Structure 1
Amino acid sequence: MKLTDIKPEKIDTEHDLDYLISKLKSKKKIKSLYHYTNIYGVEGILKRQEFWLSDANFLNDKNELWYTYNLCEEVISDICGKSKDNFLDHFNYAIGSEDLKKPVYVMSLTTNSDSNLLWSNYTNNDGYNIILDPKNLFNELKLDNYNLLKFPVIYDKKVQKKIIVELMSKFIGVTMFFQSKSDKPDLDLSDLSYEWGFQDGVLALLVKTFSIFFKDSCFSQEEEYRIALVPKSWKSQYLDYSCRVSNGTFIPYLTVPIHDKKAIKGLTIGPKNNMDIAKDGILKFLEVNGYDHLDENSVNKSKIPYRY
């Protein structure tokens, strides 16, 4: 796409928001999701019947949030050529808005049921993974100001770039439209500025949303699936959050209830956990906490042979 191909025009904020977010949907049917954690994580999640979604600004690798921003700048440069500086400056202004600093809350899952990498990274090989039903997970959650999004992470840069080209072409079109209007002396600049800011805010919020679901291909082994609470508007009110301690710092998070225990389909015991009583113990724990739909067939051992 070239700059001459783009029409200076406003966007239909509601339609374009839904249309572009729909690009994150996977054609692959996902029957189960997996959450790798240690035994204390299992106890907390199943006993309290809740998950914690962490503020994305406090993720382990904060650079992943900039991955999408950099991709947007790359696409703007490709489209605009010598005129890129004007659009890049406005893009950075739009995504740097104070209102857009409101947090997105994220929980990371995976579609990989028995991953050596994930056992090692998240459970020290002796933890568990909780098997989840994506159909029943958080379906009852309703928030006025936030959207609940559930999508697999996209690692393919070609796919990412195709979506970003669509988004940035809209951003460029909006910028061209309002810049041309701002040159006319008979217009009320305060009204124009407000409408322009609103349109930029919607587009910047989409960039922020994609930054949650786009990652560099070097992370593809994780086969990550993310659940995110994203503001419906950059004017959305802050949600009440708590803080937990992790690796010597405080991490803001939201508590999200599991309304239906049947969202828990079972557990897998990590490859290093060779205790004969591990399965018996988890079955007793499930029984005492009311997970009556789970039986001994719902708890299995990892098939990865652990080498000492």
Structure 2
Amino acid sequence: MTTVADDTKTGTAGRRRRGHGRAGRGRRHGTIGSAGLYVATGVATLLFLVPFYLLVRNSLSTDAEITGEDWTFFPAHLRWGNIGELFDDPAVPFARSLWNSAVVGVLHTLGTLLVCSLAGYGLARIPYRHADKVFYGVLVTLMVPSAVTFVPSFVLVSSLGWVDSLRGLVVPGLFSGFTCFLFRQYFLGFPKELEEAARVDGLGHWGAYWRIVVPNSLNFFAAIATITFISGWNAFLWPLVIGQDPKAWTVQVALSSYMTNQTVNFHLIFMATAISILPLVFVFLFLQRWLVQGIAKTGVKG
């Protein structure tokens, strides 16, 4: 005859077996899920690397090897001489275009950070009656297509004599409504206690901004700087119109010169593209941690 104690022991043992079974199935499902995640990540990584492989492969090939029907993983003889041919081309001052893009990118980034951060800080922290109206006016500029302002901007720059100059390439793009919006959203969430302590020490709005806010917001500034530099480096249409002299070409304009109605220099296009993306790769790898943190901190507070 079974007793209550025996039934209790049997029920407990059964629950333990069922618990172990569920745990085992959970571990198996977790292992399968992890394996699937690794496989998906590996496939995505390979797909992401395919354009870079094609870029390197074609930049070290001849035009016949690039356009030929017989495809090889890498050409039998790597054409390292394509680098010398690229920089020795008298028709395209590629080295000068790299320098121009670097100067324009750095000046554009520094200027945008200064102008837009000051505007965003003023909208977020300096109280005055028409602050909301100014902010809504900034948002309205985001709805205006760039094609609408392109011709008036060119007429203004041309009347100032800034064609074929760094001023014409940099100054018109120093203010960005979207960047101003991001700074405002970030500063709305900045701790007010730090600024109040600065004012107790006798600092005004400028002193609090420069000595308190900026040093404690370097992650966000680095994120915006990364995005702005990449945007300035990749700009094409405005530098194409303003930089009419080859000495004022940026790297994107120089790239377009290898493709004309008569000829297409495939190996030079790929080599120039491979070299031109190296600064962007270095900037992104160096600042990617701050880029992710800064974008996460923009928020929608306020």
> TM-score normalised to the size of structure 1?
0.27
- Structure holding more helix per residue: 2
- Structure holding more strand per residue: 1
> TM-score normalised to the size of structure 2?
0.27
Q: Which has the larger radius of gyration?
A: 2
